[in-house]
Chains A and B, each alone.
Chain A
């Protein structure tokens, strides 16, 4: 990659890092893994910058890579770390307190397998259709639906309890 390419990639990273970290945060549930995920996807973009940027939508490539990395490469390393190391109290409590009791739902999301969580994030954060989610994750639509159904099922079972219990615990 030549100097011009690096400069352009740098510009892209500077302009889009915040948005990608936000996306990584809702995908992974904590800022450390969000940064890991975004950096890894951007590094892969860097290796293919010219081809992908010429194709016109490097951010779509990065977001797709982030979702797939989170599931495929890391899916088997699931929740242990995410649950064991919740977001630092300083920002999370101040921030999440603003969402009016849904801290419990946020914590319930942390107990989902990576693929189920990614499906929900793509559907309810990215507002993508099941067809689009299938394309992003490289899975069948029927798998999208089954994963979403299982995830919602689990959230229904745990959310009210998590909402009451965990919110109290974290603010104690």
Chain B
């Protein structure tokens, strides 16, 4: 079926392109109008940046501003001259098991019943939260979440959401969270009919100690971000209300763990959740860009302007710059911006000083995994992923790195175990 689907895709896309409307008479004028808007906006940013420098100098912290590494230019996440220098080299990396042996855990590659699984979280020691993968022929984990202690036998299902009528295969959607004795997760489903109604997602919660899982919310038509957090007795998520591409309008919502009414989080408009539990950041190109600790209500400034793709921890932002596949890491206190000499998609983890990523080796047809301790500068790598060995695992979404071993086991690196 794959070959047929692929040939149909080629034909359908070509045919669709053939019927695409041509440019309107005003097309060129509109391009020039946008160009003028961009130039005005950039001019405004330069003025704002200049004003900020004056204020900083007046406050008597010239020493910080004077460092060449400290202040990235507006729209240029690579910052000043030192920032553009390569500071992290793949050649300096060592195998992760040599760098952080204490952070590695080995597990069976399959559950006792033979199902493959995705590791969601290492709860403690040898207690794991996992999601069983869908049957062969499908990719990714399904909606069932299980608590597993391999040394004690079979996993215990915490919840296996039933598929609603009219919805096809349901899957785990993004990153679950654990807190206050509960696990919260989202599932998404594909509509079997009436596809124009858009997305279908549900928010679920279950007590880790046992007890029935509960569906807390159903989200239809509006997209939600693939992250849920448990904060202060509530499950949080970000809903994206996009009336137009140019007007990003996300907002945070929450519902009590015990169930009840879904409410919009006061002050949460314009924010999306970060990977770090309990934190949110302003969306997209918002100015000023800020991080928000949802637990204590404090905010801190962040600068991720100019990144075309980014993630932040409470201390760092990692991102890519347009036209440059070498990602950079920027300290939020203005201290340093680091650049790597390898091509990788980097992401933050549950340890705010640990950045992980999927990298491309410059030679050989393979990819690999990289772990970077921003505090010590240590760089570790996992084994290469070859075409033949690619499993479609989603460990990057779960904030751990995992790989299958030839002996049928799976090795997991838990960033939280790196001191």
Residues of A in contact with B (beta carbons under 8 Å apart): 10, 13-14, 17-18, 21-26, 31, 33-36, 39-40, 42-44, 46-47, 65, 68, 71-74, 76-81, 83-84, 86, 91-92, 94-96, 98-99, 102, 105-111, 120-121, 124-125, 134-135, 138-143, 145-146, 149-150, 152-159, 161-162, 165-166, 169
Contact = CB atoms under 8 A, between A and B. Distances in A.
Given A26-B17, A33-B245, A152-B5, A108 B35 contact: no
B24 interface: yes
A160 B193 CA distance: 11
Given A17-B28, A21-B20, A98-B18, 6 more contacts: A13-B27, A80-B222, A105-B9, A111-B190, A138-B309, A161-B168
Contact of B15 (A46, A79, A102): A102
Interface string B314-336: 00000010100100000000000
A10 B28 contact: yes
Given A73-B308, A108-B195, A155 B5 contact: yes
B358 A143 contact: yes
A96 B19 contact: yes
Contact of B367 (A83, A86, A108, A142): A142
Contacts of A17: 22-23, 27-28
Interface in B187-213: 190-199
Contact of B16 (A71, A80, A96): A96
B240 A107 contact: no
A98 B394 CA distance: 39
Contacts of A23: 17
B176 interface: no
A37 to B, nearest CB: 8
B38 interface: yes
Binding site of B, secondary structure by majority: helix, strand, loop or mixed? mixed
Interface string B237-270: 0001111111010100000000000000000000
Interface of B: 1-2, 5-6, 8-24, 27-28, 30-32, 34-35, 37-39, 137-140, 168-169, 190-199, 221-223, 225, 240-246, 248, 250, 272, 283-285, 308-309, 320, 322, 325, 343-345, 357-360, 367, 385, 390, 392, 394
A26 B16 contact: yes
A26 B16 CA distance: 7
A56 to B, nearest CB: 15
A153 B250 contact: no
A73 B309 CA distance: 8
A108 to B, nearest CB: 7
Contact of B244 (A71, A81, A121): A81
A114 B285 CA distance: 18
B19 A92 contact: yes
Contact of B24 (A35, A146, A152, A155): A35
B198 A79 contact: yes
Contacts of A86: 196
B195 A102 contact: no
Given A33-B245, A80-B221, A135-B325, A141 B367 contact: yes
A124 B196 contact: no
Given A138-B308, A156-B1, A76 B225 contact: yes
Contacts of A43: 31-32, 34-35, 37-38
Contacts of B325: 135, 138
23 contacts: A17-B22, A21-B22, A36-B246, A73-B284, A77-B245, A79-B223, A80-B199, A80-B221, A99-B12, A99-B15, A102-B12, A105-B12, A107-B195, A109-B12, A111-B195, A120-B9, A142-B360, A142-B390, A146-B394, A149-B139, A150-B392, A158-B192, A162-B195
Given A10-B28, A13-B31, A108-B195, A78 B242 contact: yes
